[in-house]
Chains A and B, each alone.
Chain A
């Protein structure tokens, strides 16, 4: 697998948005004992800068993640490997 680290920041931001959307808005809903009325928390709207401030936590949490840009018909791989 090619290991070009191109546009890492863009891919990290993208992965971040996708992750937040998934964790807050998708996934199986099971009613526990505590019900939260989190209809739609759009952290995204609140400014990505603030979120990216906790980069340490983010880097530790995101595992091996691939974000493939298809540019001019070619797939460019940026493997953002946080493991280690």
Chain B
């Protein structure tokens, strides 16, 4: 996966020497346990900035995976400006993910959000020591698990069609509409549209609820979805996006549940997609904890 493959130790040492002529920060990607990390960096990808290799900063049994970044681009103001540049941001975001995935496929990992930068490396060690207990229980919760996204789509016209076939109320109104005067007809059609929309809304809520319930039973935890329903214009049928923390060895059961749900709800116009396995970004908080507002 690493585009540079294996590097000789001396070549690596050469590149990580901090050029003295400009200030550098330490960008942190994720946190792992310090035990058994011998050789883990040998085939690791490079950091966000070319020729800056990954390094480990360890304390209290934990190691932060870091690399050097120039403060000319990653200092507060510079970073805010750079993040508005899609190309700049996209490649760094993907690189961050690449590093996290490299470790996630080899160890239990706590993924960090984009943008954790320390000027002084000693602060990283202090942070790890201060948070060691919290990090310990977090990594215990994540060990042997992976995150899976479940996307639920609904073809609403198919849903409505399915419902109309089953609704005597709507059928009755449609009958009346046939023999109605223009005025009555207008009112009736409004009533019918309203009923259809209401029934569709209710069915969608109830279906998503039922699916979530079934999937939670086949997993360990479900993630918050409150803010994840950002509109995606390129996917108008997407009605819900759920996240689940699933034990790797129990994934088959989770997938069977998803298949069963897909079959059950197919005729009402629903379809499911699974995305994963992903590093457990969505599960870094204690269940039930609210994330602090930035």
If A20-B93, A43-B89 touch, whether A72 touches B266 (CB-CB below 8 Å) is yes
Closest chain B residue, CB of each to CB of A64: B105
A residues within 8 A CB of B277? 65-66
Interface size range of chain B in the complex = 35 or more
Closest chain A residue, CB of each to CB of B99: A61
A74 to B260, alpha carbons, bound, how many Å?
9
Cβ of A47 to closest chain B Cβ, rounded Å = 7
B residues within 8 A CB of A8? none
A residues within 8 A CB of B112? 27-30
In the complex, the answer to whether A28 meets B110 with C-beta atoms within 8 Å is yes
Those of B75-120 within 8 Å (CB) of chain A: 75-76, 79-80, 83-84, 86-87, 89-91, 93-98, 100-102, 105, 110-120
Q: Give the number of chain A interface residues (Cβ < 8 Å).
A: 56
Cβ of A17 to closest chain B Cβ, rounded Å = 7
In the complex, the answer to whether A28 meets B1 with C-beta atoms within 8 Å is no
B263 at the interface (CB under 8 A from A): yes
Cβ of B211 to closest chain A Cβ, rounded Å = 12
Instruction: Kindly name the residue among A20, A27, A48, A75 whose own CB sees the greatest number of chain B CB atoms within 10 A.
Output: A27
Closest chain A residue, CB of each to CB of B90: A51
A75 to B98, alpha carbons, bound, how many Å?
27
In the complex, the answer to whether A18 meets B79 with C-beta atoms within 8 Å is no
If A21-B228, A27-B111 touch, whether A41 touches B275 (CB-CB below 8 Å) is no
B292 at the interface (CB under 8 A from A): yes
Cβ of B268 to closest chain A Cβ, rounded Å = 13
If A34-B119, A83-B1 touch, whether A41 touches B259 (CB-CB below 8 Å) is no
A42 at the interface (CB under 8 A from B): yes
A residues within 8 A CB of B123? 32-33
> Which of A26, A29, A36, A67 makes the CB contact (< 8 A) with B282?
A26
Instruction: Kindly name the residue among B45, B91, B131 whose own CB sees the greatest number of chain A CB atoms within 10 A.
Output: B91
Q: List 18 A-B contacts (CB under 8 A).
A: A14-B151, A24-B114, A28-B111, A30-B28, A33-B123, A34-B76, A35-B76, A39-B294, A41-B84, A41-B89, A46-B86, A54-B90, A58-B94, A60-B98, A67-B273, A67-B276, A73-B259, A74-B259
